[in-house]
Structure 1
Amino acid sequence: MTSNTEGSIHSDNQAPHQPVMPTVNKVTSEDIKASLKAGFSDFLARPLMSGFFGLFYAVFGILFVWALVWLGKIWMIIPAVVAFPLVAPFAAAGLYEMSRRMQKDESFGWSEILTVIANQRKREMGWMAFVTLFIFWVWAYQVRLWLAIILRDASFSDFSGFLNTVFFTPEGWTFLLVGSCAGAFLSAVLFTVTVVAMPLLLDRETNFVSAMLTSIQVVKENPVVMLTWAAIISITMLLSLVPAFLGLIFTLPILGHTTWHLYQRAVVPAEA
């Protein structure tokens, strides 16, 4: 005899729904070239709006450096400038949204783009911001640690004195070597967990852990191509900082739009 409760027991014991992990693609250097071309086209399509994000990021960088000088934290200027690109993926969220809408031929204005982060409050973009800022904090802390250990908390009266100590003394060379290795490791970690995570969170209903795992999988499946893309980002961003951060007005938007198109190539689209 069949139990009347069999069906209800089965449904009650069903496992909770788990988010489906996105499938990743193999990408090549041609995908980077195509994404750069598409990113540049997006920038030219809406140069004023795109440039606004670059200008905002540049002004923030200038004010940040000025604040360090005002607070007497001269030793933090070089580490802060080097680590500044770490927060670029989060700053480019509006650019991802612009590219997403242009790709779908959707109309949009300033309000839709400038409020994209606020509109993510019910999703998990905020957790990715926390991950980014946490790694930035770890970077700043380890610089302070190596400064105390290697340079023995030397007192720097001005920026030129700091530069002279760092670039023209054996202790300074050791500080640069150790700090660069630690910074490269942290940058690699952040790049690996965010390279497609933020566009993915903007594009789909998923959690930030799944987004980071997908990003890690993309890097794992395409190590050489992703390393090339990381090098392009790093070199471009650092060169953009030289003219008083103003190069970011152009480079940040182009890299941001490009990141969206590379994400589209690296992650299989969700089924409708």
Structure 2
Amino acid sequence: MLSDRTGPPPPDNPHAAGIIPEVVPPLPRPNDRARDLPWRTAFDWLAQGWSDLWNNPLPSLIYGAGLCLISVLLIWSLFAFELDYALFPALAGFLVIGPLIANGLYEKSRHLEQGQRSGLFAMIFVRPASGYSALFMGVLLLGLFMLWMRAAVLIWALFFGIAPFPGSDEIVATLFTTPTGWALLLVGGSVGALFAAFSFAISVIAVPMLLEERTDALSALGISMATVWANLPVMLAWGTIVLAFFVISVTSALIGLIVIFPLLGHATWHLYRDLRPDSRQKGRSERMFIPPA
């Protein structure tokens, strides 16, 4: 709105002498997603997961054994249908969809918090509080897994051209004893690490959040990324632990999954509990992109 004043500006006007007022930066706002946890907290989550694993251990061990059996059958299918070229990308892609598969383990840890025992049936047939949004999150993670598989094939073609796969008996020597193989490992490992890091960031909080809270998948995804970024030191430590246990599982011919996967799944539930404020749990709705109804 324009002023009708024609005389000199009042003396208390900072523009009276032609001086531009000082620009004051806004006061810092506290990040309500930052929990200021030391990186060593990751080992506390691991210890809590170990405790949950051995509290009524049979359902958790059967859960892990079932995953191990399914993984072995899938690998056998790759060789049976001459798709062994997808073996290494498929193993790496396990890190992408792992949080989704662990839903039953989150359910058991949640029941233990409430002083209840959770049987195998309840762990397999989980009913998330977010309903179909949890299913949509699963579709997103599976889509990300398929995208990684396609990217891996393109990276292979980039270095070795459109040529028949040399076979699983020659691939190790090809990758580790030739300059082209080294370059493929460097580029493929870097791209795979980006996929794994992105999947970790969007799902490590989002999947248990959709189980416990009423929200939508995209909001859970965004909240998970924001929470990971606000607690980067402890989340980097946790990601390193997950990667180390994954390597142990692969080198043990996947037998280690029987114990390792339940351990990590139960521990991830305690990660979620520590990183999400109590006021935003217990079924309350928080949405980052869509206002609550």
TM-score range, shorter chain: 0.7 to 0.9
- Asked if the contact 1:82–1:238 (Cα under 8 Å) also holds between the matched residues in 2, the reply is no
- Asked if the contact 1:146–1:175 (Cα under 8 Å) also holds between the matched residues in 2, the reply is yes
Q: Structure 1: where are the runs of 5+ without partners?
A: 1-21
Higher percent of residues as helix: 1
Listed one character per residue, the Cα deviations across residues 21-49 of structure 1 (whole Å, up to 9, x for unaligned) are x9553322243222111110000102110
- Establish whether residue 144 from structure 1 lines up as the match of residue 153 from structure 2: yes
Assess, with a 3 A threshold, how the Cα gap between structure 1 residues 135 and 23 changes in structure 2: closer, same or farther.
same
Deviation at 1:154, TM superposition (A): 3.1
Listed one character per residue, the Cα deviations across residues 142-181 of structure 1 (whole Å, up to 9, x for unaligned) are 1110111111133235311122222222211111111101
Deviation at 1:105, TM superposition (A): 0.9
Corresponding residue of 1:52: 62
- Give 1:123-272 correspondences, 5 Å limit: 123-270=132-279
- Asked if the contact 2:130–2:215 (Cα under 8 Å) also holds between the matched residues in 1, the reply is no
Give the root-mean-square deviation of aligned CA atoms: 1.8
Assess, with a 3 A threshold, how the Cα gap between structure 1 residues 123 and 105 changes in structure 2: closer, same or farther.
farther
Q: Structure 2: where are the runs of 5+ without partners?
A: 1-31, 283-293
Deviation at 1:106, TM superposition (A): 2.4
Corresponding residue of 1:61: 71
Corresponding residue of 1:18: none
Secondary structure of the residue aligned to 1:206 is coil
- Give 1:80-159 correspondences, 5 Å limit: 80-116=90-126, 122-159=131-168
Corresponding residue of 1:9: none
> Partners of 2:63 and 2:247 in 1: how far apart?
17
Deviation at 1:216, TM superposition (A): 0.9
Assess, with a 3 A threshold, how the Cα gap between structure 1 residues 30 and 171 changes in structure 2: closer, same or farther.
closer
- Asked if the contact 2:41–2:234 (Cα under 8 Å) also holds between the matched residues in 1, the reply is no
After TM superposition, the structure 1 stretch with the greater mean CA deviation from structure 2, 261-270 or 26-35, is 26-35
Assess, with a 3 A threshold, how the Cα gap between structure 1 residues 75 and 45 changes in structure 2: closer, same or farther.
same
Assess, with a 3 A threshold, how the Cα gap between structure 1 residues 199 and 38 changes in structure 2: closer, same or farther.
same
After TM superposition, the structure 1 stretch with the greater mean CA deviation from structure 2, 158-167 or 37-46, is 158-167
Corresponding residue of 2:287: none
After TM superposition, the structure 1 stretch with the greater mean CA deviation from structure 2, 154-163 or 127-136, is 154-163
Deviation at 1:241, TM superposition (A): 1.6
Corresponding residue of 1:29: 39
Deviation at 1:121, TM superposition (A): 8.0
Deviation at 1:93, TM superposition (A): 0.3
> Partners of 1:128 and 1:199 in 2: how far apart?
11
Q: How many matched pairs?
A: 250
> Partners of 1:121 and 1:67 in 2: how far apart?
34
- Asked if the contact 2:34–2:231 (Cα under 8 Å) also holds between the matched residues in 1, the reply is no
**Percent identity of the aligned residues?**
30
Letter of the 1:179 counterpart? G
> Partners of 2:244 and 2:205 in 1: how far apart?
19
